[in-house]
């Protein structure tokens, strides 16, 4: 397993439309997922998309029991989601603070659907389907945005709600938000 450098906002590779995975249960796909897990955990992340490490494939991972970056967030089951399709279950949206490993040191207030259904596949090609809400729904939307070349500041409706973690959340260790 390898911890990869995480691309930062401004890198044009983060703006590409990711390609679907066409072959499952391959050594290459398993290695990619292992590297993504290692990279996400090393960065204290709650999710990571393959484009964030320069791999232009529709692969996202997310999940945690407890997060230092989001201490009040409920746990989210560890998930590998490939070729995802998201469907909102209502028109309700909620603003919430988001950060991103590709936008280190900053947080922004981002509107997201509160409830959604997601479907896709795991690394073996087994179908995954879930109905989720609140923070779990937020995390899935954030990670899947990376597959469309979208970073959370591009979703913000009020840029006055974008700021540095050490200013917005002075009690948080900024090293935990890299």
Just list the catalytic residues. Answer: 143
Alpha carbon distance 68, 121 (integer Å):
28
DSSP 18-58: PBPP---S-HHHHHHHHHHHHHHHHTT-SEEEGGGGT--BS
- DSSP annotation of 17: P
Collapsed DSSP state (helix, strand, coil) of residue 79: strand
Alpha carbon distance 60, 52 (integer Å):
10
- Long-range CB pairs of 1-5, under 8 A, 24+ apart, other chains included: 1/34, 1/35, 1/37, 1/38, 2/35, 2/38, 2/39, 3/35, 3/38, 3/39, 3/42, 4/35, 4/36, 4/39, 4/53, 4/54, 5/53
Give the pairing of strands 115-121 and 47-49.
Answer: unpaired
């Amino acid at each position: 397993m390898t911890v990869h450098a995480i691309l930062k906002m401004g890198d044009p590779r983060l703006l590409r439309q990711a390609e679907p995975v066409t072959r499952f249960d391959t050594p290459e796909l398993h290695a990619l997922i292992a590297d993504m897990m290692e990279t996400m955990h090393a960065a204290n992340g709650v999710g990571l998309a393959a484009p964030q490490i320069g791999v232009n494939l529709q692969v996202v991972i997310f999940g945690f029991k407890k997060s230092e970056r989001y201490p009040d967030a409920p746990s989210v089951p560890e998930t590998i989601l490939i070729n995802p399709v998201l469907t909102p279950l209502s028109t309700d949206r909620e603003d919430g603070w988001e950060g991103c490993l590709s936008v280190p040191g900053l947080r922004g207030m981002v509107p997201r659907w509160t409830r959604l259904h997601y479907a896709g596949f795991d690394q073996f090609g087994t179908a995954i389907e879930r109905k989720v809400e609140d923070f779990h729904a937020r995390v899935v939307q954030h990670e899947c945005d990376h597959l469309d070349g979208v970073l959370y500041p591009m979703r913000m409706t009020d840029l006055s709600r974008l700021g540095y973690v050490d200013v917005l959340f002075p009690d948080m260790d900024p090293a935990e938000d890299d």
